[in-house]
């Protein structure tokens, strides 16, 4: 993190609350798409069900989005506890992954899937790419993130991370520009050329932001809103990484846009090395996003796939999620890093669209958006 200059005291929108419990900092290790086997961790003993599965062994292929990034020791812990060898298969963004799985229905790429979010969940179930499975016991907090009705029989909540507009407060203070407070503000002349967002057709957070604008302005108003954004020189890029780390002024690069679509968990990562407060903050613009795991229909190792879903809800994985994948664990008893206690927030009343409405309209909305935003 880069040191940051002092800034004026600010207050946060009432719709946000702290998600706060302390935790010592976890070591973040990168995980490429590869096979990881268990080591000699003497602390991993497993329960009775784990012991029985150890005798079976075998490979479990977990299909994920490209942002899957649990530490090596956490992934290898799956082998320690179950006896199965986990192979991680990154398959693009959440939307691309879901589309690929739909095209391979009946002959799945793997055994289990992680990373289907609430914007694509109903499609995944309707395309019959998932086998029914729900763990016998969900950790406290997970039932509140479960999908409605029969969808919950196929997909299990693992993490969540509200998609919100982030602003670089240091930039606004330095330039003497009033900070925007609402989605409508982003179309005002003083914010021309200051906003960057990932695209709705190529990015899960980009789609979530599109849905936020539809929830905010309605079926009759969202297209005009996007036309106004385009007229105000919004920059649309392919994915979150480009938007945040390349174009955003506080993203670590040489960006020139102080307003970006990112996550509610982003501000803790702009804390200065000298202990100065985070330089970024959230606008009251959040859309709730939950990621799920499930067993793929036709899995070669269905028992191992179920074990993988269970493991994603374990204390070990839930504790690793914040600093390795920048999302909130669904298990509310999970302790969070100190930086998250101080700076990460959860929208108490996020913008939402029911899953069935998203499924019924997603393709049309994205096509209409593309006509406006990308010509």
pLDDT for res 47: 41
Rounded Cα distance, 90 and 310, in Å: 20
Assess if residue 253 is contained within a domain. Answer: yes
What per-residue string of b and e applies to 220-252 under the rule 16 or more CB within 10 Å gives b? eebbebbeebeebebbbbebbebbbebbbbbbe
Assess if residue 30 is contained within a domain. Answer: no
Residues 246, 122 share a domain: no
Q: Is the pLDDT score of 17 beyond 90?
A: no
Name the pLDDT band for 230 (thresholds 50, 70, 90). very high
Q: Beta strands of 91-211 (E only): which ranges?
A: 112-117, 130-131, 156-160, 163-168, 195-198
Assess if residue 329 is contained within a domain. Answer: no
pLDDT of 166-187, one tens digit each? 999 999 999 999 999 999 999 9
- Taking each helix axis from N to C terminus, what angle separates 302-312 and 315-325, rounded to the nearest 10 degrees? 70
Rg, Å, the chain Cα set: 21
Higher per-residue pLDDT: 341 or 226:
226
pLDDT for res 22: 27
- Site of tokens 């003993």: 45
Residues 296, 241 share a domain: no
The least confident of 152-161, 212-221, 265-274, 320-329 is 265-274
- Site of tokens 């991680």: 88
pLDDT for res 276: 58
Residues 207, 354 share a domain: yes
pLDDT for res 107: 87
Assess if residue 235 is contained within a domain. Answer: yes
Task: Give percent above pLDDT 90 in the chain.
Answer: 54
CATH of the domain at 299: 3.40.190.10
Rounded Cα distance, 187 and 362, in Å: 24
Rounded Cα distance, 108 and 205, in Å: 25
Q: How far is C-alpha 69 from the geometric centre of its chain's CA atoms? A: 12
- Site of tokens 């062994």: 57
**DSSP state, 221?**
T
pLDDT of 66-85, one tens digit each? 889 899 999 999 999 999 99
Residues 360, 241 share a domain: yes
Give the residue numbers spanning the domain of 273: 16-20+163-287+348-373
Q: Is the pLDDT score of 239 beyond 70?
A: yes
Q: Is the pLDDT score of 15 beyond 60?
A: no
Residues 60, 200 share a domain: no
Average pLDDT over residues 127-142: 95
Residues 300, 255 share a domain: no
Higher per-residue pLDDT: 365 or 4:
365
Residues 203, 98 share a domain: no
CA 194 → CA 206, 215, 253, distances in Å?
17, 23, 16
**DSSP state, 114?**
E
Q: How many CB atoms lie within 10 A of CB 374?
A: 12
Assess if residue 90 is contained within a domain. Answer: yes
Residues 301, 226 share a domain: no
Assess if residue 338 is contained within a domain. Answer: no
Q: Give the DSSP H or E segment for 86.
A: strand 85-90
Average pLDDT over residues 138-157: 94
Number of domains in the chain: 2
pLDDT for res 161: 84
Q: Structure pTM?
A: 0.74
Residues 359, 233 share a domain: yes
pLDDT for res 281: 76
Collect all residues with Cβ–Cβ distance below 8 Å to 156 and sequence separation of at least 6.
133, 134, 135, 138, 142, 146, 292, 293, 294, 309, 312, 313
Residues 109, 132 share a domain: yes
Residues 150, 138 share a domain: yes
């Amino acid at each position: 993190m880069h040191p940051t200059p002092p800034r004026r005291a600010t207050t946060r929108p009432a719709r946000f609350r702290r998600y706060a419990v302390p935790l010592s900092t976890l070591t973040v290790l990168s995980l490429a798409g590869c096979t990881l086997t268990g080591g000699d961790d003497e602390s991993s003993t497993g329960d009775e069900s784990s012991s029985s599965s150890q005798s079976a062994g075998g490979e479990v292929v977990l299909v994920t989005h490209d942002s899957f990034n649990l530490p090596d020791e956490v992934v290898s812990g799956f082998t320690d506890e179950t006896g199965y060898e986990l192979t991680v298969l990154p398959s693009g963004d959440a939307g691309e992954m879901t589309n690929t799985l739909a095209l391979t229905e009946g002959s799945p790429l793997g055994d289990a899937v992680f990373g289907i979010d609430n914007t694509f969940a109903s499609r995944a179930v309707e395309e019959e790419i998932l086998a029914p499975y729900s763990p016998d016991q969900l950790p406290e907090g997970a039932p509140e993130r479960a999908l409605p009705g029969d969808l919950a029989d196929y997909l299990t909540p693992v993490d969540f991370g509200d998609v919100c507009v982030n602003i670089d407060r240091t930039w606004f203070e330095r330039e003497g520009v009033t900070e925007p407070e609402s989605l409508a503000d982003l179309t005002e002349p003083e914010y021309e050329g200051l906003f960057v967002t990932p695209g709705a057709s190529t990015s899960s957070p980009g789609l979530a932001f599109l849905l936020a604008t539809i929830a905010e302005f309605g079926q009759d108003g969202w297209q005009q809103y996007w036309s106004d954004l385009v007229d105000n020189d919004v920059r649309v890029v392919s994915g979150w990484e480009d938007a945040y780390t390349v174009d955003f002024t506080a993203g670590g690069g040489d960006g020139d846009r102080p307003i970006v679509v990112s996550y509610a968990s982003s501000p803790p990562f702009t804390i200065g090395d000298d202990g100065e407060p985070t330089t970024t903050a959230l606008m009251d613009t959040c859309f709730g996003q939950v990621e799920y795991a499930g067993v793929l229909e036709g899995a070669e190792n269905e028992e191992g796939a179920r074990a993988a879903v269970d493991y994603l809800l374990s204390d070990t994985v839930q504790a690793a999620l914040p600093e390795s994948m920048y999302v909130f664990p669904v298990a509310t008893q999970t302790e969070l890093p100190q930086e998250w206690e101080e700076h990460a927030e959860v929208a108490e009343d996020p913008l939402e669209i029911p899953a069935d409405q998203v499924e019924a309209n997603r393709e049309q909305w994205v096509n209409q958006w593309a006509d406006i935003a990308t010509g």
